[in-house]
Structure 1
Amino acid sequence: MFITKCVLCVVILVMHVVSCSWAAGARQRCAEQMMALQDQMTHVQETQELLQEDLTALKDSINTLSNLVVSTLPEDCSVARARGSWSSTTEVRPPGLQPRKVRCDQQTGGGGWTVVLARFPTTHLHLERCDFNRSWQQYKQGFGDIHGEFWIGNEALHSLTKEVQTELRVTLSDWEGNTTSSVWQHFRVGSETDHYKLTVGGYEEGSKAGDSLHHHNNHRFSTYDNDNDRDYEHCARKHGGGWWYFSCYQSHLTGAALPPNASGHHAIVWRTWKHIVGLREVTMMIRPAPRPFSTTP
């Protein structure tokens, strides 16, 4: 607006110069008008400079406020719970990553759980299930809907577990309505350089689902486009999904969501509970461990 006004002033000034050249008797009046226009242009420029300074200061204030908000976001659902939140979704900022919305379980075992995997029917007919046969990059960044089925992302798993001793809880449900769970005192996912290697231990005795993760301990993550298993076959291509395949698996929670009573090695499987029967629902969730983990027997 101010630039337009300045251009208009210049045009008027030029017109006055032309007018004065053709009316010698009005030169004095033209000179006065030219001086007045120059004063107006100077005032407009000064006002524009002041507004630009105000705009810069406003942007700095917004950036400062935005950084303050980001810096005060909880790292995970356990920190959100400690601050008094009971919400099932919240915005967090895992260490070293951008803020993101996550799903929380603030009820089970005192709450504080960050859900990292969810599998369950989202429609009455169970037809619309999320496809978990995804690429390495998609498993890295995460995919799905935190209100439905999703994978939080391997980068987030690494960020949330790399410096804090973390416990894992897996809950499983079959199509008959039976539900069971298992808990581990120690769960860690390595960096991408280490192919998101899984470290898991401290299986809690009394857990009902069995330890179908033990087979995958110290093994790397694989997808159909990034094979890191030790089997002669490409496990991720054969069975689908992304997982810490070895030779090939005892658990496979990113398998295909099969209809009721269907089974197969490409299904959602937890062999220490239902062998190769396709499961209906699964959740994996993590939180800082309440006690130190020891590898000593």
Structure 2
Amino acid sequence: MKCKRYTLLIAFIWALNGVLEASAFSKIAVSSNTSPKRMKSPLHRRYLYNTGRQSWYIDDALINRLKEELRMEEINLQREKPKIAALEETNNNLKNEITKLRAQSATDDSTKLEACSENLRIETKKNQQLQDQLEKIPSEIMRVAEKIGDMAEQNVKASSCLVYIGNPGIYRIHVPGHMPHNVLCFDGKHEGKGWLMIQRQAFGNEDFQRDWNTYRDGFGSFDGDFFLGLHKIHHITHAHRQKLFIYMETFEDKWFAASYDNFRVGSEDSEFRLESLGAFSGFNEIHNDTFRYNEHMKFTTHDRDNGLWEVGNCATEHQSGGFWYKRCSYFNPNGKFSKTKGTSKQGIHWDEWDGLKTIHMLIRPLI
């Protein structure tokens, strides 16, 4: 744009210069009787006046000044030419780069399009596979349901709670020598999983001062306090080697436990003799193997005394509830339940911990 402006200005000045020289500095007649007018040339601001025959002359100074302006414009044009050439070169370079970028973009777009098409094909194949699998799910569910039904018909014949790990609750088990019966399967925070609960006192809704037949057959309910029954415990402990876990809590909410790795109870013919306890382990500050004192003893209730205490029946006169008393016991899970802390040996206790708040006894096959 600047170059165009200079070119037009030069052409105009050269044309004016020719006209002026051709007139040989002649007079310019002004024949009009009108008011003064401006000259149309933008190169000077003189006025021409019409005063009869009076006229004005364009002097040499004006021509020289115009020529000087023309010369300066030519100099400026020469100065601008390198810049114009550089701009043209830059413009050409930009055009070349744009051409390259367009070609590269076309190639990249083609490559990306091919990659997207391949990814789309892979995803479509995956979706089809998932769709096929989803279509098979109903039949698979039916197959599993039928299998579960078959297992239910066969009663699964579980003999412990290990098969129900992670799903505690009431289940029917099958133990050799005994009719199928329900048990409470238990998973505990401290005890672990897969346990079968044989005794619990935690709610105070059952009286554990029961007779021989009641301890033999069991009493209570799985949603409260209960004793599973000596006859069932006998068959379970003879079907597999069982680990015994005794969990206890104080009224200060402190827990502790003891375990034995070979808990085994005899039949009614032996008066449910405590045949074995196995190796002892204590948990959370329990160090005394307190239950060992009762090992090999027969079971005692208030109406059948099998203890060795010469003075009387431990189940009624010194302590309370049925248990494997010797000369009474340092441990009694079936003592009287209390809602407040006490020190009576007739309550639930383990060695020096009298008047326990809760207790439960668990067994499971030794793994």
TM-score bracket, shorter-length normalisation: 0.5 to 0.7
**Distance in 2 between residues matched to 1:212 and 1:157, nearest whole Å:** 21
CA RMSD of aligned residues (A): 2.2
* Structure with a larger share of its residues in helix: 2
Equivalent of 2:198 in 92, 116, 125: 116
Change in CA separation of 1:236 and 1:107 when aligned onto 2, cut-off 3 Å: closer
Cα distance in 2 between the residues matched to 1:139 and 1:278 = 22
**Is 1:287–2:367 an aligned residue pair?**
no
Q: Which residue of 2 aligns with 1:18?
A: none
Contact 2:206/2:225, CA 8 A, preserved across alignment? yes
Mapped to 2, the partners of 1:167 and 1:259 lie a distance apart of 30
Q: How does 1:245-260 map to 2 (within 5 A)?
A: 245-260=325-340
Flag the 1:142–1:257 CA change in 2: closer, same or farther, 3 A.
Answer: same
C-alpha distance in structure 1 between counterparts of 2:340 and 2:154, whole Å: 44
Structure 1 segments unaligned to the other structure (5+ residues): 1-64, 122-127, 291-297
Which structure has the greater CA radius of gyration? 2
User: Unaligned regions of 5+ residues in structure 2, if any?
Assistant: 1-148
In the TM superposition, residue 253 of structure 1 has moved relative to its aligned partner by 0.5
**How much does 1:116 deviate?**
0.5
> Could you say which residue in structure 2 is the equivalent of 1:225?
303
Q: Cα offset for 1:133?
A: 0.3
1:216 matched to which residue of 2?
294
314, 331, 355: which one pairs with 1:235?
Answer: 314
Question: Could you give the per-residue CA deviations for residues 30-59 of structure 1, whole angstroms, max 9, x where no partner exists?
Answer: xxxxxxxxxxxxxxxxxxxxxxxxxxxxxx
The reply on whether 1:95 has 2:176 as its aligned counterpart is yes
Residue 75 of structure 1: how far off its partner (Å): 1.4
Distance apart, 1:182 and its partner CA: 1.1
Match of 1:13 in 2: none
Q: Normalized against structure 1, the TM-score is what?
A: 0.67
Which amino acid is the alignment partner of residue 263 of structure 1?
A: T
Structure 1 residue 68: Cα displacement: 7.7
| Alpha-carbon contact 1:183-1:207 (below 8 Å) kept | no
2:264 corresponds to: 188
Change (3 A) 1:69 1:96: farther
CA separation of 1:251/1:267 partners in 2, compared to 1, >3 Å: closer, same or farther? Answer: same
In 2, Cα distance between equivalents of 1:171 and 1:285: 8
Contact 2:195 2:362 in 1 (8 A): yes
Question: Which one of 192, 214, 222 corresponds to residue 146 of structure 1?
Answer: 222
Look up the match of 1:136.
Answer: 212
Give the 3-state SS of the residue equivalent to 1:76 in structure 2: coil
Which amino acid in 2 is paired with 1:221? F
Tell me which residue corresponds to 1:37.
Answer: none
| Alignment partners' CA distance in 2, 1:69 and 1:180 | 41
Aligned to 1:283, what secondary structure does the other structure show?
A: strand
Match of 2:342 among 262, 276, 289: 262
SS in 1 for 2:236: helix
Q: SS in structure 1 opposite 2:362?
A: strand
After TM superposition, the structure 1 = structure 2 runs for residues 48-59 of structure 1, keeping only pairs within 5 Å, are none
Q: Percent identity?
A: 26
Aligned CA distance change for structure 1 residues 97 and 70 (closer, same or farther; 3 Å): farther
Q: What are the superposed Cα offsets for residues 145-203 of structure 1, whole Å, 9 maximum, x if unpaired?
A: 11110000001110110141111100000111111111111100010011111121200
Q: Letter of the aligned partner of 1:111 in structure 2?
A: K
Relative to the length of structure 2, the TM-score reads 0.55
